[in-house]
Amino acid sequence: MMFTHTDDGTLQFPWLVRYIQKRSGDLEQNLFKKAFARYLKTAGTALDISSGNSLVALLREKGLTTYAVSGTQKKLLYPDNSFDYLTSCGLLETVPEQDRKRIFSEMIRVTRNMLFVAVRTSGFSGLLMLSALGAPDIFPPSLLSLKEFRALIAKEPGLQLVELRNAGGFEKSFVMAVLQKTV
């Protein structure tokens, strides 16, 4: 079936939902694969904090001992500098502004080396446009602009931005920051 009606009378397009979910997952995975190939040089430990697509398989392929937690936790129950690497995908843009700095600071606190943080900003994206038209439940509006993401990173002492990259093409709102902890 090409589309279905919902209780509120709107149309849903199951094929479009599947396409958008697969394509967005692929974009995020590719951003991480490129960054991992460039910056993950040694074995160690990693923590994956996700609100959606998990990166555990990619991290294990790199030989890392990997742990995963849900992005909904208020405080990470690990000591300072517990992990060599931290990955986060799709979390910061879903968090209200008043909680974002605290969550980001927790990420930094438990990491001793590098953070790989991917977000979907409020910039233009072909997938977001398609989602708004035919599958609005997939991507709630992002609460984070690229400018706000850069400001969040810049406000953290002891953190250096190594690389900021987007998925390119019509998907410039899918952004990843590679951050080095310097303290």
Name the pTM for this structure. Answer: 0.86
Domain count, the chain: 1
Residue with tokens 């609460």: 143
Percent of the chain with pLDDT strictly greater than 70: 89
Q: What angle do CA 44, 49, 55 make, to 5 degrees?
A: 65
The range of the structural domain enclosing residue 14 comes to: 4-181
- In 3D space, the residue among 39, 94, 101, 41 whose CA is nearest the CA of residue 71 turns out to be 94
Segment 49-77, tens digit of pLDDT = 976 667 888 888 888 999 988 876 778 89
**Strongest mean pLDDT among 18-27, 28-37, 77-86, 161-170:** 77-86
Check which CATH number belongs to the domain holding 27 and give it: 3.40.50.150
SS (HEC) of the chain? CCCEECCCCCEECHHHHHHHHHHHHHHHHHHHHHHHHHHCCCCCEEEEEECCCCCHHHHHHCCCEEEEEECCCCCCCCCCCCEEEEEEECCHHHCCHHHHHHHHHHHHHHEEEEEEEEEECCCCCHHHHHHHHHCCCCCCCCCCCHHHHHHHHHCCCCEEEEEEEECCCCCCCEEEEEEEECC
